[in-house]
Amino acid sequence: MSTPILQVRDVHVRYGRNGLHAVAGVDLDLARGETLGVVGESGCGKSSLARALMQMPPPSAGTVAYNGQELTGLRGQELRRIRLDLQMVFQDPIASLHPLRTVRQLVGEPLGVWRIGTKDERKVTVDEMLRAVGLDPDVAGDRRPGQLSGGQCQRVAIARALVAGARVLICDEPISSLDVSLRATVLNLLEELKERMDLSILFIAHDLAVVRNISDRVMVMYLGKVCEVGPSAELFASPLHPYTRALIDSVPVAMPGAATPEPAIIGDPPSPSNVPSGCRFRTRCPLAQQVCAEEEPQLREMEPHHSVACHFAETPGEGKR
């Protein structure tokens, strides 16, 4: 197998003087051409992890290698250069774009800053990129973000992220702020661009339904740690962690007249400043036993490429170790 395009080891993110531990030792590999979905409830550390991978700011500890090159020690120009390859798309597209710039200026900016191509070549590249994200340059090119819909702004943000030849796209809830009717079109666009431009994607979302179809693999986070990671189809068909099962059970069935499911998971997650001993999910887990308070379960591979951090993963529901 070739080297992963992104290789992350034992990344930690701490905030503030009290050292709130938002990401508590995450490993991940993103293979070339792969889409890895990252899911978990609000506050579990998904965005903190994404920013740490981008070195915005660098993680408090751990390593992040892009194409085998370690990023955590890089600063200034060197880091900005790498960030052309490693781009991020944010949840709120309107807020992520300068309101006074035109669409052409916004998409062309990375090319101008790095003096990629001549002025005429840049114009051609920008127009091609706008067409690639489904915007007509003659119609949208001179508009400003305030004159576009949320979905169009997200297309502009994607065009801007990809225009200078990005290899990895980190999408942080890219469709959650969009109208429900537009979400599928933006997901389809990302899939199409991934194929056409040979991208690798880390796709963050708080609910599993969104990542289900777009991801090759899915990584489930709980309170700053990975509790399960595996191939998407297998993880949905045979989830191993009680938290993953609860997330899947909470996904509404897309059928007219289907009852809204009861929340399968009770209460809110504990604060990352007050993490339970042993297994951090135990305070909400239907399978919890004494051992869960005493020993932290480590990620272990149960099926090829499918790992889980749970003492009771082999016999879910029976309470046997």
Ligand X SMILES: Nc1ncnc2c1ncn2[C@@H]1O[C@H](COP(=O)(O)OP(=O)(O)OP(=O)(O)O)[C@@H](O)[C@H]1O
Chain residues binding ligand X by CB under 6 A are 15-16, 20, 22, 40, 42-48, 206, 272
The CA-atom distances, in angstroms, between 36 and each of 61, 170, 281, 314 are 22, 10, 23, 24
Rounded-to-integer distance, Cα 11 and Cα 25, Å: 5
When the beta carbons of 42 and 69 are compared against ligand X, the nearer one is 42
Q: How far is the CB of 224 from ligand X (least distance, A)?
A: 7
Rounded-to-integer distance, Cα 142 and Cα 223, Å: 44
Rounded-to-integer distance, Cα 82 and Cα 300, Å: 33
When the beta carbons of 40 and 230 are compared against ligand X, the nearer one is 40
Q: How far is the CB of 39 from ligand X (least distance, A)?
A: 9
Q: How far is the CB of 221 from ligand X (least distance, A)?
A: 7
When the beta carbons of 57 and 76 are compared against ligand X, the nearer one is 57
**Beta bridge partners of residue 231, listed in sequence order:** 217
Q: Is 50 left (phi over 0), alpha (psi -120 to 50) or beta?
A: alpha
When the beta carbons of 47 and 152 are compared against ligand X, the nearer one is 47
Residue 284 CB-half CA count within 13 A: 20
Q: How far is the CB of 272 from ligand X (least distance, A)?
A: 5
Q: How far is the CB of 212 from ligand X (least distance, A)?
A: 17
For the chain, the C-alpha Rg in angstroms (whole number) is 21
Q: How far is the CB of 149 from ligand X (least distance, A)?
A: 23
When the beta carbons of 16 and 68 are compared against ligand X, the nearer one is 16
- In this structure, the strands spanning 306-308 and 200-205 are unpaired
When the beta carbons of 127 and 173 are compared against ligand X, the nearer one is 173
